Structure 1
């Protein structure tokens, strides 16, 4: 299990109480620092939160929230115009760390607390600069092949710094360490321009990995988003303890619920975890978009489909959303040096699996909706 699970998940105050508390404690402190700077002869407007008499109440609260949002958030990717991760157009934060261990995982490098170095061999020019720079002798070249001894890697990033085909500013790099860690307030500041552009017809989705393994960071980020009027969504497998789904009713507008009754059929049965987590989420006045990943031999079995139907019936849902198989799944296993746990299905198997799933729910009058049109 990821070390990210070792977190303090207490959140004793409701969202409205948090706002009142922050106005009581933080805003006077901000004003005190402003008066102090003026007494020292500093020009108005140079303090951290310059006073703007035209500023709305919400903007002032948002500035205070940013100041307090110092929890570190860990993520491995950002997407700025997704139409597959919630209603409308979404900014998606793919958060690092996952405990589910699905045998079909599409992003194996997202599972540990920090991603291993990714190496895309097809972009390597065999310049040997990484070999010379690496203090752990991770990189070596044998018979015109670039080989990585990953056991020695300390993730220092020196190989990336010297590699002519690698850069954090390039969409595709020969070498990369995708995990990024930063204060929540800074991440919110970075993505705010994108959120403001889509706030009328989209919002933010926290995906993963499993976002709620970093619950403190999630609460801070969603608090900022709600104060800014941003629609919020969380994607979850449903496999976390029920307590991690509590205290979120005023922060989450929409849940993308993964229905992981199994992560390795027939060996793993997670029915009890699913029942407990969805019971908590269903108490909120929020949308729940039930999602089924298309995985031949796992999520198309009669056992799994019956489990899904029972849950949908219990919570009076007449629609589901399918997550198609990612044909590029092997790509990240090869790049991260992680061994695949199953034989990856081919296109024909995926097509047959999806047809079976669709036929099953159509027979039971359950709509299979298109999330990009939701």
Structure 2
């Protein structure tokens, strides 16, 4: 078990373990009820067991289930959940439990931030990818024109990982989670005392079983270093969007056919090409091809640029990217550069 304390407006611990020991250790008496939000897939796998554990420590457990997939991260889902919460009598002293992957964490976290003007919540992640989204307090739902366009900052009161639940992840979800872990590996050289980029590629290329407690903790420590310095994304927290400008646009253009973490993998290749670092772009691209990352069903370049224009990092109509060189920068990039990079990426996938 690894415990990582996060110093934020609301300090909390991230616990990475291979079981649910935290349930017996947590103080529950101050909460009027527990309100679990999950999706149908997680509910079918773990719902009965997890609910049983919670009912042993609290007499009032409310259970809400939404459809899996990013389409549920919407205002209509939010309204439905508010209706369920009010119908069950959830009040300001309710603890909301986000039990699932990144979509559930974002949706339930945003629900917690607005329900009765804000209630406490905890994250109980069930995916690798959620080691990024569950930490840091950024919560949101999507708008048809832009991913995460409707959101807020609302810190959890705890994040509790049980990595044994990762055993049932489909291969595509593992790849998606590795997208965010690779992102943290690339950022590690700038925010930690030493980089684990090469170590992670070595572990991945060996094809051995991953020690998820250790690897997720390493990724979380990168995010810890950044969010403790810049909790509300006024400066270096934007670094965590590395690979996301093109990645989010790709998700939207593909109608969310490509999982978020895989879209970020494509986005990091794109960003490396923009910065002129073809060596790192090629190593990542080769790993993606070898591991059957979902290929892009290329649309006209204007489609991606249109979606990139609504990215949150943009200023005065410019398109801005997080670029990794000797130092990290957030730079405006011309549409000509974007067009040429898109053409280069299309050529790589065609070779």
> Which structure: larger Rg?
1
Identify, as 1 or 2, the structure richer in helix.
2
* TM-score of the superposed pair, with normalisation by structure 1: 0.33
Q: Which has the higher contact order (CA 8 A, sep 6+)?
A: 1
| TM value normalised by structure 2 | 0.34
